Structure 1
């Protein structure tokens, strides 16, 4: 998971606490911000005066939320993706159904998390699957303070392969443990790989580990339901469908003009 980028660090002077290092910090969306004097912020957050404490606590909570959103690894292109910004003009009837299913999943995330209910977003290129998955992730982070992470099947496979090197920093077990920890894991681009037994085993270990830990997973694929079952195997799809995990179908033309 990624920490906010520090773009610049410079010496600053606080009238009350003296010299400190000020940092220009990455914002998930919007303008980047200077951290300011940490001792002033600490004192304000712990002040008995509500007029001082409340705005300071709001700033602290906002920065924690910003860090959580950046740690989700949602791609820069989809940082502004929300449920409300998803357009349903290409195929209003079908897109409205997909949006409703995704909104219901996001708004009911506490219940989904309690039973480990997962989700599949399946359909053609350029139909908005990644937009809606990232919108769900943002919603559960903002509204439920859940930990969500976005990744791709290829990234998972590469990470596992990297553990085979003699100088590997992490073990294979540690990679899978890290994938199990988030309250919600989004795995994009499932099915664009070669479909080797090794790749299928890696994805099985990832999804099954989360299934056994009651951790929801959202799988995104350009394959249809029959093809994804053939690619991942019945065991994986059954785990993703357990407890009523929905398969949301994106059966309309690409908004990007993809073939």
Structure 2
């Protein structure tokens, strides 16, 4: 009788993987190398985003660690700003107020380094707004205002120092209202006293700020005085 082959006759024996300590170490090294490359790519991307955020180049190497505290009150101020930058589900407004040269812009840049987002002075915001009205502009007003109204974190510096106060007030009012509605955090930096800034912003904005606002007020002489050299 002719032999009849069954499926078992065609089954190929399975290959058995035999692990060795040397092989396991090689796998660990490859995994660690891949993780290092991933982290380097992530850091490079974050660095590029920070440099494109609008933070002035003078502050590219600054962070919370490089902000010098002069007393216990400064330590409290610094911790308040750090907590704000790391707060989850943050929809509040932080006011950084005080005389020039006390490190407000430094801290504003550090917030962007920590949380991401956009940094801009109010004068530059006005300039970009005016440029956006040009027919040949690459960005129109709607897209520009949408960007500042929806970026995850927005730091606006030098409030109260522009030469076009009416336009400054109108732009700030619009952006702050939109960011309030979008439940997004905003940082306002100014040399103005708190009562003067609130008066400038107007009742409608202040009414919203009352619900979500925190303020950090700085005192003291300018850090720059100690660095300045007069020929």
TM-score interval w.r.t. the shorter chain? 0.7 to 0.9
Tell me, in whole angstroms, the C-alpha distance in 1 between the residues paired with 2:37 and 2:73.
45
The C-alpha deviation readout for 1:96-134, integer Å capped at 9, x for no partner, is 2211211221232x132xxx1121101100011111111
Q: Structure 2 matches for 1:37-116, cutoff 5 A?
A: 49-89=30-70, 92-108=71-87, 110-112=88-90, 116=91
Scaled by the length of structure 1, the TM-score of the pair is 0.70
- The structure 1 segments of at least 4 consecutive aligned residues displaced by more than 4 Å after TM superposition are none
Q: Structure 2 matches for 1:199-214, cutoff 5 A?
A: 199-214=168-183
Which moved further from structure 2: 221-230 or 56-65?
Answer: 56-65
C-alpha distance 171-231 of structure 1, shift in aligned 2 (>3 A): same
Q: Structure 2 matches for 1:1-259, cutoff 5 A?
A: 49-89=30-70, 92-108=71-87, 110-112=88-90, 116-140=91-115, 147-194=116-163, 196-243=165-212, 245-257=213-225
The C-alpha deviation readout for 1:200-219, integer Å capped at 9, x for no partner, is 11111122111111111100
Tell me, in whole angstroms, the C-alpha distance in 2 between the residues paired with 1:135 and 1:168.
31
Q: Which has the higher helix share?
A: 2
Scaled by the length of structure 2, the TM-score of the pair is 0.78
| Bigger relative contact order, structure 1 or 2 (CA pairs below 8 A, ≥6 apart) | 2
Q: Which has the higher strand share?
A: 1
Larger Rg: 2
SS at 1:219's partner residue?
A: strand
Unpaired runs of at least 5, structure 2: 1-29, 227-231
Unpaired runs of at least 5, structure 1: 1-48, 141-146
Tell me, in whole angstroms, the C-alpha distance in 2 between the residues paired with 1:212 and 1:246.
18
Tell me, in whole angstroms, the C-alpha distance in 1 between the residues paired with 2:61 and 2:167.
35
Q: State how many pairs are aligned.
A: 198
